[in-house]
Amino acid sequence: MSEPAAPSFSAPAPGADSAESLPLTGAAYLRSQIRLLPLSPGVYRMLDAQGAVLYVGKARVLRRRVVSYTQTHRLPVRLQRMVAATVALEVITTHTEAEALLLESNLIKKLKPRYNILLRDDKSFPYIEITPGHPFPRLIKTRGGRPQPGTHFGPFASGRAVSETLAALQRAFLLRTCADAVFANRTRPCLLFQIKRCSGPCVGRIEPAAYTALVEEARAFLSGRSTSLQRELARRMEEASAALAFEAAAVYRDRIKALTNVQAHQDINLPTLGEADVIALHSEGGQTCVQVFFFRGGRNNGNRPFFPAHPADLTTAEVLEGFVGQLYARLPPPRLILLDQPLPNQELVEKALALRAGHRVTLGVPRRGNRRKLVEHAALNAREALGRRMAEGSAHRRLLEGVARAFSLKAPPERVEIYDNSHIRGAHAVGAMVVAGPEGFVKNAYRTFTIRDPETVPGDDFAMMREVLRRRFARAQGEDPTRERGLWPDLVLIDGGQGQVSAAGAVLAELGIDDLAVVGVAKGPDRDAGRERFFPLAGGPPLSFPLNDPVLHYLQRLRDEAHRFAIGTHRAKRSRAIGSSPLDAVPGIGARRKKALLHHFGSARAVAQAGLADLEVVDGISAALAKKIYEHFHDAG
């Protein structure tokens, strides 16, 4: 994939007319930079006084594009505010406008500027992978990384879509799914072999050549050559049946049924479509849903709704163009993309996506036939998904209004942060923060805190909460001192009673923060759900709610989500620690030597207590390495 040209020009930071004058800002600052800007394609970034990026844009001619921002009377109110907040301008030149468009999409994805269209969905796309580099490749689900053609097949819209397809492919091709370590240590077939979902290569139940043939058939099917493969399997089934090899014929019959099953589970199918994405947009009430259907090999790999954030004064075509750029900044573009409306710069977007993909990419707006029906189907899904989201958002708004009334807040909170800790007797202690707002949980804002302060006594929940809140809000003071970037909560909920609230109050007072609403959520008598008591930092008697109050149920959901996230993080940390060994910290000790030491001494503790002479007799441990191991455990103090 080609990348945009490297930076070749950067405008200086805001200057001043003299040492005594104030630095220029807004349109005056932009006018001062015009003569310094090149007459070439590139990307510009507008920054505010805190160094935060306000906007990222691309231009065919940078100087002319920036000039348009100096004529503020012609700009919408939104852009007038943006220009007024601008104190610095950074530009990067590129060779072509298409490269500028690619770079713009990458920077928007990375920086998330306030005034740009933002995709907001950080979930990666799942793929099916046929693992390379092994005589008996695996068939597995994978995410992230750069998908390699020939080994990765997708993307799929969701993990569920992949899992359903994998289950059918296991029955059709009998490829293994176990990890290499499990495969290498099997002595008899596993359950998957017994239920005819694996051919048993781990114990020699299939020859390597026959297994390779299955792999190639799976690759052909996932690449879209399903019709010819099914005809070939049908031919083999008939031959086996004619030869009275009914058991073999039954195997072919089951494989054909499994392949048919993969296709039968598709909502819509268009074999002639090949590799394509179908994208449609629906906008209503200032909100937008973009629905994307993924077709690969003529099969529907599922669909996913996206809800991009964007200024209200943009047209739907402008929103769609920004969305397409950001979607394919994280996803390899297919050869064909069907849209429900043309883009303002459609030819430019095609060139940029072709540059990214390394092959021609066509953007089309079908007017009739099956392809038009696909686009209309996507548009219908977009409208229905947006309707469901707006209904959920309305319900969340009402609940947040109830929260505001219960805790005497000035307005319904836009951002609620909920904190909890998790540990076992002080070991592997972590703090967790989850975030909720009018649209539900904001999972890309979740944070974890490894408890690391040496003064925090292991198992002291109050000290752990103090450390978590001190780190969280000290960082917020540094990154968003004016509270204009949306990093500050309107309400803080803490899993705990009056003691935890007092600990939180002490930290906030220490940091000079006296205007945050903080409430502790304490379990009721006998830890019964529904009898929780709520302790506001502002003082007063604890609050409680009727058992059937929707606001109580909402607050319970927030508390339970923080609890779930904290426990999950703690368990992951504990699992990693269980899998580690003190020997991992010894330089020069790899997997083979660690195994030799453990086999010889029985445990890492015994290795640490061993004498120098004992270490030297271990297979693969030289005298120099034995000395290094001994000194690591005995000279470290």
Report pLDDT digits (tens) over 61-119: 999 999 999 998 888 888 999 999 999 999 999 999 999 999 999 999 888 898 998 88
Average pLDDT, the chain: 85
pLDDT digit string (tens) for 530-576?
Answer: 678 999 998 888 898 888 889 999 999 999 999 999 888 888 777 66
- Bridge partner list, 433: 419, 447
Cα angle vertex 466, ends 462, 469, to 5°?
135
pLDDT(1) > 70: no
Where b means 16+ CB within 10 Å and e means fewer, 570-597 reads: beebbeeeeeeeebeebeebeeebbeeb
Distances from the Cα of 584 to the Cα of 130, 519, 591, angstroms: 31, 43, 9
pLDDT tier, 309 (very low <50, low <70, confident <90, very high otherwise) = confident
Residue showing tokens 């370590």? 181
Longest alpha-carbon distance in the chain: 100
The predicted pLDDT at position 38 comes to 92
| Average pLDDT value for residue range 462-466 | 90
Q: Rounded to two decimals, what is the model's pTM?
A: 0.71
Q: Which two tokens stand for residue 626?
A: 């034995």
Phi, psi for 523 (deg, rounded to 5): -65, 145
% of the chain surpassing 90 pLDDT: 40
Neighbouring residues of 192: CB distance < 8 A, sequence distance ≥ 6: 170, 176, 177, 178, 198
353/363 Cα distance (integer angstroms): 10
Task: Examine the pLDDT at 19 and tell me if it is beyond 60.
Answer: no
Q: What pLDDT does residue 9 have?
A: 47
Domains recognised in the chain with CATH numbers: 26-111 (3.40.1440.10), 126-264 (no CATH), 274-387 (3.30.420.340), 416-577 (3.30.420.340), 582-634 (1.10.150.20)
pLDDT, tens digit, for every residue of 263-295?
Answer: 654 545 566 677 899 999 999 888 899 999 998
Both tokens of 107, joined, read 């920077």
Q: How far is residue 126's CA from residue 141's CA, in Å, rounded to a whole number?
A: 7
Band (24; pLDDT cuts 50, 70, 90): confident
User: What residues form DSSP beta bridges with 142?
Assistant: 127
Q: Average of pLDDT values for 223-243?
A: 81
The span from the CA of 503 to the CA of 499, in Å, is 6
Contact 418, 554 (CB under 8 A): no
Q: Does 411 or 313 have the greater pLDDT score? A: 411
Q: What pLDDT is attached to residue 527?
A: 54
Q: Is 99 exposed, middle or buried (0-12, 13-18, 19+ CB in 10 A)?
A: buried
Least confident of 311-320, 366-375, 527-536, 608-617: 527-536
- Spatial distance between the Cα atoms of 531 and 546, rounded to a whole number of angstroms: 8
> Contact at 8 Å (CB) between 359 and 335?
yes
3-state secondary structure of 353: helix
Question: d(Cα 576, Cα 569) in Å, to the nearest integer?
Answer: 11
Decide: helix, strand or coil at residue 114.
Answer: coil
Q: Is the pLDDT of residue 217 over 50?
A: yes
Average pLDDT over residues 439-451: 88
Three-state DSSP string of 409-456:
CCCCCCCEEEEEEEEECCEEEEEEEEEEECCEECHHHCEEEECCCCCC
Query: Where on the phi/psi map is residue 105: left (φ > 0), alpha (ψ -120 to 50), or beta?
Result: alpha
Q: What is the pLDDT of residue 104?
A: 93
Burial of 413 (0-12, 13-18, 19+ CB in 10 A): buried
Query: Please, is 184 exposed, middle or buried when counting C-beta atoms within 10 Å of its C-beta (0-12, 13-18, 19+)?
Result: exposed
C-alpha dihedral (573, 578, 583, 588), degrees to nearest 10: -60
- Predicted local distance difference test score (pLDDT) of residue 145: 64
Between 173-182, 342-351, 555-564, 582-591, the lowest mean confidence (pLDDT) is in 582-591
- The answer to whether residues 417 and 516 touch, using CB atoms and an 8 Å cutoff, is no
